[in-house]
Amino acid sequence: MSNSYNDRNYNNNEKSTGRSWRDEKFEVNNSNSYNKYNGSSRYSHNKSGGYDSSRTSSWHSKPRDWTPGNFESTSSFSSKPELPPVPFKKNFYQTSRQISDNEAANFRHDHDIKVAGDVPNPFINFEDAGWNSQILNNFKMKGFSAPTPIQAQGWPIALTGNDMVGIAQTGSGKTLSFVLPALIHAKAQEPLRSGDGPIVLVLAPTRELCLQIKDVFDEYSRFYNLKCTAVYGGVSSYQQKKILVWDVKL
């Protein structure tokens, strides 16, 4: 009788509270586990195969300062003394002859060249740019008689070391308009140490265009004894990383 009464009484409580004996047992077990591990969800394994809460209590005992730059564990990332700037030359603009402003204006008008800002006059002929004899002979072998508009105006701007945005149609010689100035700038810099990496970076939207640009660099970088490489997807990244740590400037 007592057992039946207790069962009925418990069932009545269950109906009134919406709780079962399984819920109460689960809460008791959870409470014991919480006390055992000091409320931490981080458990550390001890030698006996169980978990030891004493190893995790120290993690909670010390307050943490999450303010950016105030992490105690970032001692290895502490700022190093700033190195003094290395002087280098970036203005290599020179011309074999002075081009008048009227001559430059007429050339821009005839070739539909629009410029903005204080820019030098264009190189009307290859000889005006002062390229070495090897490059000039290469132009003759290829049948190039005169620079294209983007080359004529782009070369002097890039050689001065100023920022430049050039817009021209496909097949107008844009690649050569920045390749030759890049070679001049790279050749004048200090020799690279192992692991320095390249100092000239060209970004291309596709793998095919990346390889086309590398072909142009390969053709003219040999005249300056410079090495170049291309980095793109679809091949081993390990081999590409190895090449970058060599004496590659481009």
Mean pLDDT of 52-75: 53
Question: What is the rounded end-to-end Cα distance, in angstroms, of the chain?
Answer: 95
Mean pLDDT of 66-73: 53
Q: What is the reported pLDDT for 5?
A: 44
The region of weakest confidence among 98-102, 146-150, 237-241 is: 237-241
Q: In the predicted model, is pLDDT for residue 4 greater than 60?
A: no
- Percentage of the residues of the chain whose pLDDT score is greater than 70: 68
Angstrom CA distances, 113 to 84, 116, 169, stand at 41, 10, 12
Burial of 15 (0-12, 13-18, 19+ CB in 10 A): exposed
Q: What is the reported pLDDT for 175?
A: 95
Task: Please state, in angstroms and rounded to a whole number, the distance separating the CA atoms of residues 197 and 248.
Answer: 7
Q: What is the reported pLDDT for 116?
A: 92
| 8 A C-beta contact, residue 177 and residue 166 | yes
Residue at token pair 């679809």: 234
Position 84 confidence tier, pLDDT thresholds 50, 70, 90: confident
Q: What is the reported pLDDT for 248?
A: 84
Which tens digits make up the pLDDT trace of 98-127?
A: 889 999 999 999 999 999 988 999 999 999
In order of start, what are the domains of the chain with their CATH numbers? 101-247 (3.40.50.300)
Q: In the predicted model, is pLDDT for residue 82 greater than 90?
A: no
Q: In the predicted model, is pLDDT for residue 167 greater than 80?
A: yes
- Cα 107 → chain centroid: 39
Q: Tally the C-alpha atoms within 13 A of residue 38's C-alpha that lie toward its C-beta.
A: 14
Q: What is the reported pLDDT for 47?
A: 47
Q: What is the reported pLDDT for 94?
A: 86
Position 196 confidence tier, pLDDT thresholds 50, 70, 90: confident
Number of helices (H), then strands (E), in the chain: 9, 0
**What integer best gives the mean pLDDT of the chain?**
77
pTM as predicted = 0.64
Residue at token pair 């109460």: 24
Q: In the predicted model, is pLDDT for residue 210 greater than 60?
A: yes
What does the block give as tokens for 2? 């007592």
Top-confidence residue, 190 or 13:
190
Q: What is the reported pLDDT for 18?
A: 55
